[in-house]
Amino acid sequence: MRRLLALALFAMANGAHAGHILVADLSEAYTHSTALSGLLDAVDAELARIRTEYQPEIAKLQSQLRGLDKTQSAERLRIAREIHQIESAAEAAEVRLIEANQRAIATVDAAIDAAKTAVAAAESAHALLDRNELLYVSPDCGCDRTEAVFADLNRRLPSVELKIDR
């Protein structure tokens, strides 16, 4: 009888593990992930740097252009071309920033996946789902591991570098 009870409890424990599903709300990753919030700051700083590098020169040339009369067409054309070149350079810098940002986000995404896998494995859970994959989660399910996932993520990847191709 004791052996049967032990077997039944063992089966319950193992059967339960197979269906144990955890959930993490990753929608506010930009505030909870130190890497992502740092990345956001780095992107803002780089955008400000691009503006500082290119805008004053463009403004200066536009002012010169306004000062010319219609008879100075060659000079007007030269300045317009120069403005266009600087604007193209600024756009190219922004494209490089976007690409660097995408690479950094891919690094964070991979770390989030690893954190989810680690948290699920630590509890022998069947799966750890993103909250937005679900239509409803009971507030009483005891399955929310958002804090554990972000804690693991921040240990695993405290920061991420914004590597811009120069």
Q: Which residues bind other proteins (CB under 8 A)?
A: 5-6, 9-10, 12-13, 15-21, 23, 123-127, 129, 133-138, 141, 143
**Residues paired with residue 40 on neighbouring β-strands, in sequence order:** none
The residue among 41 and 113 lying less far from other proteins, judged by its C-beta, is 113
Q: How far is the CB of 27 from other proteins (least distance, A)?
A: 15
Give the other-Cβ count within 10 Å of 34's Cβ: 16
CA distance 101 to 108: 11
In sequence order, the 6+-apart residues with CB closer than 8 A to the CB of 20 are: 123, 124, 125, 126
Whose structure tokens read 């993490």? 24
Considering beta carbons, is residue 21 or 65 the nearer one to other proteins?
21
Supply the minimum distance, in Å, between the C-beta of residue 116 and other proteins.
14
Task: Rank residues 35 and 119 by Cβ distance to other proteins and give the closer one.
Answer: 119
